[in-house]
Amino acid sequence: ARPDALPRDLEGVRVVVSAGGTREPLDPVRYLSNRSSGKQGYALARVAAQRGADVTLVAAHTVALPDPAGATVRHVSTAEEMRQAVHAAAAEADVVVMAAAVADFRPANRADHKIKKSDDQPDPVITLDRNADILAELVRNRRSGQVVVGFAAETGDAQGSVLDHARTKLKRKGADLLMVNAVGDGKAFGTEDNSGWLLGSDGTEIPIPLGAKAELASTLWDAVVSFMKR
């Protein structure tokens, strides 16, 4: 939709959106990361700003994307940096949307120098430590009336479908809304389109047909607006 065709129903609402994928360094030149492009988070920030919100975007490695007009952008790299930036912004926010792909683990040791291979040393083994779960912390520290939205990228497996995993994750995370994207086989990551479900803690389940990431963003903000009215 053109910006002037959008409702101004987020006027005065302070929102925080995280986007992109964090990088967890192994040494000065190497890192562990994921395939998130940041496009969905950017679309969320852009649409929220167009609908009148006061937007802070916390972006991890979304380098090819221009900063969305009207948003305050904080660029971060690691999960820990994202954690600090999101909590700082969330302290004064009405809505927090965790669209970023936050690394679950980081290398336990970060080498000061480039790791070298050697014929007389055994090959290195990477030990991982668990990163803090930012979304879980947001839910625990939630300000009164604050709406917390999570994202889940699921593939489905022998234990259950994409939707089964998502329903379990919504309960486990305690978020108000969970946007579930089906991923794998070229779906979602880095593409222009997304599909899935928007699950509410009140039991609502809105199917999201395959469409532009801006369309999904509009549907998500519609759901947030009706959540804030309750």
Q: Does residue number 41 form part of the binding site for ligand CTP (CB under 6 A)?
A: no
Q: Does the annotation place 229 within a ligand binding site?
A: no
Phi-psi region of 196 (alpha: psi -120 to 50; beta: other; left: phi over 0): left
* Gap between the Cα atoms of 196 and 135, Å rounded: 20
Sign of the Cα torsion 93, 50, 22, 193 reads: positive
The interface partner of residue 98, options being Ca ion, ligand CTP, none and the CB cut-off 5 to 8 Å by kind, is ligand CTP
Cβ atoms 41, 50 nearer than 8 A: no
34 labelled catalytic: yes
For 69-89, what is the HEC assignment?
A: CCCEEEEECCHHHHHHHHHHH
Q: Does residue number 148 form part of the binding site for ligand CTP (CB under 6 A)?
A: no
Q: Does residue number 133 form part of the binding site for ligand CTP (CB under 6 A)?
A: yes
Q: Does residue number 150 form part of the binding site for ligand CTP (CB under 6 A)?
A: yes
**Residue numbers 86-115 binding Ca ion by CB under 5 A:** 104
Shortest Å, Cβ 2 to ligand CTP:
29
Q: Which of 15, 44, 100, 223 binds ligand CTP (CB under 6 A)?
A: 100
- The helix (H) or strand (E) run that includes residue 139 is helix 134-140
Q: Which of 134, 198, 214, 224 binds ligand CTP (CB under 6 A)?
A: 134
| Residues 6+ positions from 49 with CB-CB distance below 8 Å | 55, 68, 69, 70, 71
Minimal CA–CA distance to 45: which of 20, 23, 80? Answer: 20
The interface partner of residue 85, options being ligand CTP, Ca ion, none and the CB cut-off 5 to 8 Å by kind, is none
Positions that interact with ligand CTP (CB under 6 A): 79, 98, 100, 102, 104, 131, 133-135, 150-153
Q: Which residues are annotated as a binding site for CTP?
A: 104, 114, 151, 169, 173
Q: Which residues are catalytic?
A: 34
